[in-house]
Structure 1
Amino acid sequence: MNANSKPRIYQVNVFYLLVAFLLIFAGSYVQKREIYSGLVITEFLLILLPTVLFLLIKKSNFKKVLRLNKLSLKQILFIPLIVIFSYPVGTFLNYIVVAILSRFGEINTAAVPLPDNIRQLIISFFIIALSPGICEEVMFRGVMMSSYERFGKAKAILISALLFGLFHFNIQNFLGPVFLGIIFGIIVNKTNSIYSSIIAHTTNNTIALLIGYFFSDGTKNIGEESLSALKGYNLVIPGVTLGIAALLMGLIALRFIRALPEENEDLYLGELFTNSRVRVIEWLPLIVVLIFFVIFNYKIVFF
């Protein structure tokens, strides 16, 4: 690959900072006005469009940077199974954070309204599941992870997953996305295709949507069901139960990941410990985002 086909670390970090600011200010504004149209604007105009423009400005090779490669039928069938069995692990990780935060006071969640009928469910699928699956994966498992591969593939997976978690700007929903970001990154590297993480991300969001639709009492929003178990003092029993389920399901997910047919065998976890020289200025945009993350969540938790 041409060295210029991938954006430099400082450039991609500045890009991440700018999109994060768009999300915080413009995204929150349009979503407060009307949640569904706001989500569409956020995903396509504030995330996907800047990502495409960034690649155009950098004259990057779209096919190589985004890994626009075909998937086999077997890979397409394996990916949803990996996500289905990984989902309880992400839920458990978020549960731990929420359980800890609940000790400090009332927990509030930025939730999306549940659909009331099949028509709304279908619309919600396109807005809540498919749109983020496409737009966010192009940014994170496309541009971000590809650029960070200068540090090795394993580091690229981990860093892009951490940035993906930060990008939610919600400490209650941080560890789950980080874990899922790692899973998405692994399957993208194994399949050498961005389409794999688009399928995976869409599947994950669809699971959350269906759980909210079929198992809610109709008065809650998506995300509130996970907090209902925390209303009260007995957090041990549901936590242990969920933890055991997460462990068992996670082991099954791991088997599916290992069995996933590979197109790219160039992933070594040992790369995580390789030495890479990094200038402080390259990380400065990420430090700014982290500060905003801390301030934003401090206000949510303590006020």
Structure 2
Amino acid sequence: MSDPSGAAVSLAEAPAPTDPPAKDSGVPRIRPLRRPGRWIVTAAVLVLLAQILHGLVTNPFYQWHRFRYWFLRPAVLDGLLVTLEVAALSAVLGLLGGILLALGRLSGSPVLRAVSWTYTWLFRSVPLIVVLIFLYNFGALYKTVSLGVPFGPAFVTFDESRLATDMTIAVIGLSLNEAAYAAEVVRAGILSVDQGQHEAAAALGLPRGRQFRRIVFPQALRSITPNYVNQLIGLVKSTSLVFYVSLLDLFGTVQAMGNTYPGDVVPLLMVATVWYLILTSAVSAVQYHVERHQARGATGTPPPTPLRKARAGLAGLRDRLRREAAV
């Protein structure tokens, strides 16, 4: 070998690499920051959760044997089916109505903007139970519903009492209320799309409808999906109010059985609670997978699943415990 000046340097004369400092060399070690408060709070929360679970299991007031008896009874499952049907129809109709209202709010027509704003303001201000009861008594105001020339003769007349079944009233009431909230969710999602996307779509010469369907709305879904799924969770719970318009959904069935079997009120309420937990958890799972699918377009790779996050957290905890034990 030779150095830059041209002098030869033997391998034997090359400097040896320096050894790492010994543990007793006096070099201070970096120790992880201790957080005793976090461990104390964690322990307190775990103790509180254990006490709650112990009370749920051992308290005879819950009557878990009666809970098992009622959980899969045909009457309860029939009420659950009604809840699913009302929630599904109201979710679809509410979203379609919300899209129309959102487009009306963003329209260049002042009439459409005013009507859409007024509708949203009205149904967001009136409680849902008032809407349902008003629709239930709608026949007292209008005996018949007709189609024909505005302010002119009617071509087709319908008997309102035959059309307004309990299921119809429940779906219409929930859909009208849901559309008002869905309109704001959809409008916020559309406004979240970068203005450059609108300009690029217009520069391509695409019609307005095609711009919305193929460019704007798919991007707006990333913002609409999590917010509207929260609305769906609220909608599933709001179906319990259709009991007041004589429709026996899950809560209505449980309420009726509680009146028939007063000793089983608590187990029946626990049955309804668990079923609502299952339904809302299923909606949340769908939300997670939809968001994970849509995230691929923004980040290139989907986010890790909860199982992978748990494994990564356990691996990080083991590494930290090893480092603390080595100190």
Higher Rg: 2
Bin of the TM-score, shorter chain as denominator length: under 0.3
Q: Which has the higher contact order (CA 8 A, sep 6+)?
A: 1
TM-score, reference length from structure 2: 0.25
